[in-house]
């Protein structure tokens, strides 16, 4: 009997017969716990940014080992989340790899007889910069509102981590209309994003220059009375 497990435990009966008679013997088999053993395969993995990484952890042992993954930050990884998934066979899936995901991941296989550990180093593959998921040059438009804050996004990724800087329209401040350019660069290349900012006037209800209620003294026998009503708004 090979590769025995708990399912093989029990009483086995051996029967012997010939023309003179028969006999039998019973043997009780008990399977002792067996400490886990993890297949030590790939110890370093290089993955492109934004792609998924799959880290295997195939373990044998009796009883069947429980698989636990530890992140580079020493946290126990949950079975399922936006960032991680642990499959039935113990494989860890890292979704949409970023530079923050680099580091040593530890797979721990554990049962009543002991445990075993396998470490895998995850590295991001060197990559030229890209902005908002686009390599090279790209352009977008943004509509802002007068006297309001405008946020110009420039989400840069790459390895080594790119240097990022902005160029504003010549002679204008950051609150003005125009084309703003974001640049990202590392030794593998560069990317740029042009953001065309258009500013719309702020709509507002009319308001009076003077208080809503004003008391004016009036003399009798006045031939003419003039009442002023001055209002303002950003749009006429």
Which segments of the chain belong to CATH 2.60.40.10? Answer: 34-124, 127-200
Considering the domain 34-124 in this protein, what is its CATH number? 2.60.40.10
Return d(Cα 38, Cα 119) in angstroms, integer. 10
Considering the domain 127-200 in this protein, what is its CATH number? 2.60.40.10
* 192, pLDDT greater than 60: yes
Phi/psi for 101 (5° steps) reads: -90, -5
Rounded to an integer, the average pLDDT of 16-34 is 86
**The pLDDT value given to residue 227:** 67
Q: Which two tokens stand for residue 181?
A: 């350019």
* 21, pLDDT greater than 90: no
Rounded to an integer, the average pLDDT of 187-200 is 88
Percent of the chain with pLDDT over 90: 39
Q: What is the pTM of this model?
A: 0.61
Per-residue pLDDT tens digits for 134-187? 888 888 888 888 778 888 888 899 999 999 988 887 655 545 788 889 999 998
């Amino acid at each position: 009997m090979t590769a025995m497990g708990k399912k093989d435990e029990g009483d086995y009966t051996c029967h012997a017969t010939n023309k003179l008679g028969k006999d039998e013997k019973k043997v009780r088999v008990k399977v002792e716990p067996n400490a886990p053993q993890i297949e030590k395969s790939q110890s370093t993995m290089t993955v492109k940014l934004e792609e998924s990484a799959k880290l295997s952890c195939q373990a044998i042992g009796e009883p069947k080992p429980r698989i636990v993954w530890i992140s580079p930050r020493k946290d126990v990884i949950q079975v399922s989340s936006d960032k991680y998934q642990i499959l039935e066979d113990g494989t860890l899936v890292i979704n949409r790899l970023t530079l923050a995901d680099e580091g040593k991941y530890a797979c721990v296989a554990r049962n009543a007889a002991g445990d075993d550990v396998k470490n895998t180093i995850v590295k991001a593959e060197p990559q030229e910069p890209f902005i908002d998921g686009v390599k090279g040059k790209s352009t977008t438009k943004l509509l802002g509102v007068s006297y309001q804050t405008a946020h110009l996004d420039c989400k840069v990724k790459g390895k080594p981590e790119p240097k990022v800087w902005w160029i504003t329209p010549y002679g204008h401040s950051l609150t003005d209309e125009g084309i703003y350019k974001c640049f990202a660069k590392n030794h593998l290349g560069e990317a740029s994003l042009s953001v065309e900012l258009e500013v719309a006037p702020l709509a507002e209800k009319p308001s009076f220059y003077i208080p809503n209620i004003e008391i004016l003294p009036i003399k009798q026998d006045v031939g003419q009375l003039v009442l002023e009503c001055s209002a303002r708004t950003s749009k006429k």
